[in-house]
Structures are given as structure tokens and as C-alpha cells.
Amino acid sequence: MTRERAILGFLDEMEGRGLHGFILTLNGEIISEGYCAPFAPEQMHRMYSVSKSVVSLAIGMLADEGRLSLDDRIVDHFPEYVNENTPALLREVTIRNMLMMSTCYDRAMYVPLEDEDWTKPFFYGMPTHPAGTLFHYDTSASQVMCALAEKLTGESILSLMQRRLFDRIGMDGDKQWLCDRAGTSQGGTGLSLTLRDFSKLANFCMSDGMGIVSEEYLRAATGWQIATEERSAPEERYGYGYQFWRMRRGFYMYGLGGQMALCLPEEGLCLCTTADMMLSSVGVQPIFDAFFRHLAGIGSLPACAEDAVLLDRRIASLHVPAVTGAAVRERIFVRLEQGGLPFDTLELLPDSIVFGIGALQYSLPCVPGIWSKGVFPTTNQNCITSGGFVADGRFILHCELCDDFVCGMEMIVSIKENRAALRISGALWECARGWNGLAWGRTD
């Protein structure tokens, strides 16, 4: 077995699973890197919950400077949200509890599409148990931690981390961090990075902190702090640190849909991926399984020039599969009569698909076998689409968003005589409501 064959085995297992890109490093050096067209190296990618790990690093910096203590009660930093009705269990929650996802709640306290201020709801919930006793994944805890960092420093989390960390470790690609409608950065989900910058960040987290974050905090953050055996996903049962996950060996950063940094510090090995696996029935577990089956231990394998040629060819051919099939030959117009999808009409044309929403029409390019660029209906989000008839009377559209949100949908249109049934499996909840479910109508 050679290094190149091991990487080819990893790519074989990941084929067709929604991978957008990967970088594999050994002792900080890139040994393999690839992107699935149309995704590219310079392209920012939404990191989702990787944002939590960056917020943890910010909290660690502030703790190192004595500007906060992990044993501070969180209510003491937000007195504006405390009154005589504040529950005793909430008053006991510490910053350490927040970092460990062991607050007094069994769910996130905010609703992203409904709450303008994502920080305040944390302080008005009804506690379900004492803090520090149980793990419950709570993105609102990360949001409050981010708000705390911004409150103490007077600058945005992106500005803070750009100045204190990103610039110092060579993260020189484009970045952005989305805010809630109240103007606070989305601490649990808002960061976008290039994959190369993500890899530099992950390698920093395997370092001694480089004088930027104390080694003591970094080891605690990426180490085991609380049990998570109750989690349903296999790789989420190995424990949790301070906004970092543990795995069967090492630790990882985990963003929704496959934004992953799998870190084995004892081997100096790190795999970073970007992906859209939101619609997968098995989640991101295939990334872990393929990593440990093929890549863990790669540092002990020899390189091979002949195999390197094969790997280079494979990487050059990586792409997100487009829908193949037959193009629409004649216009098909569907007027929906029943169902909860957010459009009233659907029009299939030879090179596009048109959604009618009230008096407005939104067109997406749609050609089988290739990806076309468009803008998703009712949003300003760029997307790529492909679609066609995969069988008589059965049309499939696949769409991937590629700006602020990394998510997609698959729409099946099944036509029989003058009726059409539509089914959309989508993960567009954050940017476009309602694009998931069933509807039917009649064709012209």
C-alpha cells in the first residue's frame, strides 16, 4: 500500500456522497488536495458549526488575558437580561458549562428564522435540569459566547479573530461571518472560509497555541470534558470538549453537511473537507469511516511516483455529479392544486425551469449532464442546477446553493396523463422556507 493508493481508496468511498473538496496534511504540509468541480480552491465555503470552535478559541484568548474566567456565571456578563424572574438554575450556568454544551436547557433557546436577536432568548428560557450534568447540543450557547466576546472587545468576532489569529497563521483567503438581524455575529453557524484557510485553522488547533492561545486552554478545548453516549450518530459518542468534538481517536470540528476537520495530533495528521451531505440518510459518518479505513496511519506509508500519476488524474477529474437524462422537448406547464410547496405553477422548458410565486416568476437554467449557474428563487443566493428526464414521465432537478449557504434540494416531477406529482427533498430551511414536501397539480 502506498500513500497515493490510500488516498484513492478514500476518494472511492466518498464518490457520489456530496464531497466538495478535501485537504490532507501531515505535520502541517499538504500531501493531497482536491476540489469537485464546479467548486474551486479560492471559493469561500459556509462552515456552519465550525464557527463554534472559533468562538471557543476567542473565549480562550480572553480567559488567558484575565478578561473572563470559565467559572464566571454567564448572567453576570449580561445583567441587562436578568431580573427577579430569572430562574435559579439559569443563574448557576457558567461559561465553562456553555462551552461544554452542558447548560440548563435541553434545546436551543432561539428560533433562527423567527428571533431577530439570537442572544436574548437564552436568558428567558425555562430550564429543564441543572447545568453541568448533561450534554445537550445547544447552538444558542455558542451564540451567547460570541456575543460575550464581541461585548468585551468592542469588535466583531471576525475582526477580532482576523487580527489575533487568522493573520498570524497565514489564513489569507476571503472570509465572512453572517450576523443575526440585531447585528450580532452568528456565533454557532455564521463563518465562511476557503478550504485552505480551514486547513490552516485545524493545524493550529493541533499546535501548542503558538503563543496566541495558551496550550493549557487549547488542550482542554480539544480534549474530553463531558460524556455524549446518548448521541445517535456513532462518531458523536466519544465525548465533547469546549466546542470541539472527540472521535474514536483525536478530535474534530464539525459543520453541518460535512464541513469537517478530523485531527490526529499524535500523528500530525489532519483531513479537512467541505461537502453538502445534508440530504444523506447516513449523515457524515462515511467521512469518518473512510478516513480511519484509508488515511489514519498514512504517515507510515511510502510514496510512489507511478501511483502519484494515477492520483493526480483522479483529482483532476473530481466533480459533483450532474443529473443525466433527456432534455425537455416541449414546454410542460403545471398548475398546482394541492400541497405545501411555496410556488403556484411550474414550467419545464428545454433549457430552464420556471417557478411561479404569485404574480412573480423565477427562472433557473436546467440542462441535463452539466451544471448551470443561476440565482435561487426569492433569494440573492447563487446556485448551480442540473436536471432532465431520467425516465418517461419522470423529471429530476438538482440544485446546490454556493454562497452564504451550503445546501441543496432535489425535486422529482412525476407526470402521468394530465397530472403531475411533485416531491422536494430540501435543506433550504435557513434561506428559503417551504422548499420541502409534496404537491400535485394538472398539466397543460
CA angle 312, 316, 317 (to 5 degrees): 120
Which structural domain range is residue 39 located in?
3-316
**Has residue 402 got a pLDDT over 90?**
no
Domain boundary among 290, 316, 342: 316
Say if 326 falls within a structural domain. Answer: no
Let me know whether 184 and 295 are in one domain.
yes
Rounded to an integer, the average pLDDT of 195-220 is: 98
Let me know whether 107 and 219 are in one domain.
yes
The answer to which of 16-25, 229-238, 288-297, 402-411 has the lowest mean pLDDT is 402-411
**Has residue 89 got a pLDDT over 80?**
yes
Let me know whether 338 and 279 are in one domain.
no
Judge if pTM exceeds 0.85: yes
How far is Cα 371 from Cα 360, in angstroms, rounded to an integer? 25
What CATH number does residue 149 fall under?
Answer: 3.40.710.10
Say if 150 falls within a structural domain. Answer: yes
Let me know whether 338 and 312 are in one domain.
no
- Residues 131-180: tens digit of each pLDDT: 999 999 999 999 999 999 999 999 999 999 999 999 999 999 999 999 99
Let me know whether 42 and 160 are in one domain.
yes
What b/e sequence results for 253-263 when a residue is b if at least 16 CB atoms lie within 10 Å of its CB, and e otherwise? bbbbbbbbbbb
Let me know whether 111 and 22 are in one domain.
yes
What b/e sequence results for 218-229 when a residue is b if at least 16 CB atoms lie within 10 Å of its CB, and e otherwise? bebbbeebbebe
Say if 144 falls within a structural domain. Answer: yes
**What percent of the chain is predicted at pLDDT more than 90?**
92
Sheet with 352-357, edge to edge strand ranges? 360-365, 352-357, 345-349, 332-339, 437-443, 419-426, 408-416, 394-401, 382-391, 372-375
**Has residue 281 got a pLDDT over 80?**
no
Nearest Cα neighbor of 225 from 246, 204, 206, 208 is: 246
What CATH number does residue 405 fall under?
Answer: 2.40.128.20
| Beta carbons of 184 and 117 less than 8 angstroms apart | yes
Let me know whether 153 and 212 are in one domain.
yes
How far is Cα 427 from Cα 18, in angstroms, rounded to an integer? 13
Let me know whether 391 and 293 are in one domain.
no
Say if 41 falls within a structural domain. Answer: yes
Let me know whether 193 and 75 are in one domain.
yes
**Has residue 181 got a pLDDT over 70?**
yes
pLDDT computed for residue 114 by the predictor: 80
pLDDT computed for residue 421 by the predictor: 97
Nearest Cα neighbor of 117 from 165, 58, 184 is: 184
pLDDT computed for residue 395 by the predictor: 97
Rounded to an integer, the average pLDDT of 381-394 is: 95
Domain count, the chain: 2
Rounded to an integer, the average pLDDT of 301-307 is: 95
Q: Computed over its alpha carbons, how large is the radius of gyration of the chain?
A: 23
Say if 325 falls within a structural domain. Answer: no
> Could you tell me the three cell numbers for 181?
438581524
pLDDT computed for residue 427 by the predictor: 84
| Average pLDDT for the chain | 95
Greater confidence (54 vs 283) lies with 54
Domain boundary among 316, 347, 366: 316
pLDDT computed for residue 222 by the predictor: 98
Confidence band of 113 (pLDDT split at 50, 70, 90) = low
**Has residue 13 got a pLDDT over 90?**
yes
Say if 323 falls within a structural domain. Answer: no
How far is Cα 236 from Cα 276, in angstroms, rounded to an integer? 19
pLDDT computed for residue 365 by the predictor: 96
| Beta carbons of 17 and 288 less than 8 angstroms apart | no
Say if 365 falls within a structural domain. Answer: yes
Rounded to an integer, the average pLDDT of 403-418 is: 91
**What percent of the chain is predicted at pLDDT more than 70?**
100
Domain boundary among 316, 344, 359: 316
Say if 74 falls within a structural domain. Answer: yes
Let me know whether 290 and 406 are in one domain.
no
Confidence band of 111 (pLDDT split at 50, 70, 90) = confident
| Beta carbons of 25 and 3 less than 8 angstroms apart | no
How far is Cα 80 from Cα 90, in angstroms, rounded to an integer? 14
Sheet with 176-177, edge to edge strand ranges? 45-46, 191-193, 176-177
pLDDT computed for residue 163 by the predictor: 97
Let me know whether 251 and 398 are in one domain.
no
Confidence band of 272 (pLDDT split at 50, 70, 90) = very high
| β-bridge pairing 45-46 and 29-35 | unpaired
- The CA–CA distances, whole Å, from 424 to 34, 280, 283, 341, 395 equal 30, 14, 18, 8, 12
Residue type, 153: T
Let me know whether 379 and 288 are in one domain.
no
